[in-house]
Structure 1
Amino acid sequence: MGVPEDLLAAAKQCLAERGYAKTTVRDIIAISGSNLAAINYHFRSKDALLNQAMIEATGDAVQEILKAMPEGPQNLEAFWEGMTRSFRERPELWRANVVALAQAPHSPELRGQLAEGQARARAELAETLSGDEGEQSKALLTLVIGMLVQWMIDPDHAPTAGELVRGLGALNSQQDRHQDQ
């Protein structure tokens, strides 16, 4: 890896461990083994480096979501099992994503880039699910974000894959009953 990649890796680590507000230039430099001037040379500022790190972490998260999609006939429970396994096995990635979500309202540039990333994620999910970018991919991405937040806050009480699927089924049944009335 080169200096920019080392800085980005260090920034992602700091975001996951310390959050945006508590990450300092000194933290990034200590982890990356680079010098102070390298941040400004390669990224213009600490904020630009952290924004790039959050964008890359979000891209990495999209790849994790796509990896969780089962092959063959769609199995929603298998998908959620894959997601919760990723939450457990790659907590640093998901913490960095929560930091990015929390920082987005304060940075128009970051918000725009995250919105582009979400659009790509919806398109890729739609291709995997049904071939069109419709309600399924939007709903699934929304559920992933909500599940992620629950796992970051209280993983011991976040729903299991089975609980989530059964809950969605119960909501769907309730909706069907209301439509029949």
Structure 2
Amino acid sequence: MQVRTYKTHVSAIDYDSPMGQKEALLAGAKRCLVEKGYGQTTARDIAEASGAHLGSIGYHYGSKDRLMNLAVLELSSDWGDTIARLVRRANGESLLDRLAASLSAIRDTLPNTKDLQSASIQALAQAQFDDELRTTFANGAADARREIAALLIGSNDDQHQPDAGEAGVGSLVYAFTIGLVAQFLIDPESLPEAEQITEALRLLAGDSD
């Protein structure tokens, strides 16, 4: 399985142009997120990682916090795209089979995206103290839950409004995904294997042999 790499390269950016500096700062912020974490990154760290001037952070983004928020949102969007691709590829005759296949595929990506997952969890905690960031995360999560539910259920109607059960499917996958990420970051050895995920879901559904 091919998993997107999150190490950000900035060597091809033209630092002398204003747009080049802006792009470099965003790339540098992403690099700091995966290498240092949200709470440990300073404005000077971003400037050093990007090769841009320290003062250009305020000029282009208003503040270091706004730049960091944008960086984590872009990385989270990339991760969300990965989840959507995995769910779309999940095979199975029943919804339960597709759910198990999706969670197993998501589980398999975690070792290759550890730094990103750590940064995302830190950003979720930071969102409790930043209304703008929390609102953006909430809107993005709502869209993700709807998309996941539609993919698992097999709806191709972009305008389809999920009923309570369908909405619950999206919320369940979202909750399971966050739980798998947290479990992996805290105790990777305890992460269930794909077969365990499948059997656990069948047991919960009363469909265990």
Same fold (TM over 0.5): yes
The aligned amino acid for 1:147 is L
Q: 1:121-160 residue pairs with structure 2 within 5 A? A: 121-130=144-153, 131=155, 132=162, 133-160=166-193
Give CA deviations for 1:56-98 in whole Å, capped at 9, x if unaligned. 1221111111121125545334322321222111222222211
Number of corresponding residues:
175
- Structure 1 stretches of 4+ with a deviation exceeding 4 A read none
Q: Give the distance between the partners of 1:41 and 1:77, measured in 2 at CA.
A: 47
Q: Give the distance between the partners of 2:139 and 2:100, measured in 1 at CA.
A: 28
- Structure 2: segments with no counterpart, 5+ residues: 1-12, 14-19, 156-161
Q: Give the distance between the partners of 1:106 and 1:163, measured in 2 at CA.
A: 37
Pick the aligned partner of 1:115 from 121, 138, 141.
138
TM norm structure 2:
0.76
Q: Give the distance between the partners of 1:93 and 1:5, measured in 2 at CA.
A: 19
Q: Which residue of 1 aligns with 2:4?
A: none
- Structure 1: segments with no counterpart, 5+ residues: 175-181
Pick the aligned partner of 1:163 from 186, 196, 201.
196
Q: 1:51-130 residue pairs with structure 2 within 5 A? A: 51-69=69-87, 70-73=89-92, 75-130=98-153
The aligned amino acid for 2:45 is D
Larger helix fraction of residues: 1
Which deviates more from structure 2 when the two are superposed, residues 112-121 or residues 87-96? 87-96
The answer on whether the counterparts of 2:99 and 2:152 sit within 8 Å (CA) in structure 1 is: no
Q: Give the distance between the partners of 1:58 and 1:34, measured in 2 at CA.
A: 24
Query: What is the CA distance between 1:40 and its match in structure 2?
Result: 0.8
The aligned amino acid for 1:146 is G
The aligned amino acid for 1:42 is H
The answer on whether the counterparts of 1:12 and 1:96 sit within 8 Å (CA) in structure 2 is: no
The answer on whether the counterparts of 1:64 and 1:86 sit within 8 Å (CA) in structure 2 is: no
The aligned amino acid for 1:98 is I
Q: Which residue of 2 aligns with 1:6?
A: 24
The aligned amino acid for 2:195 is G
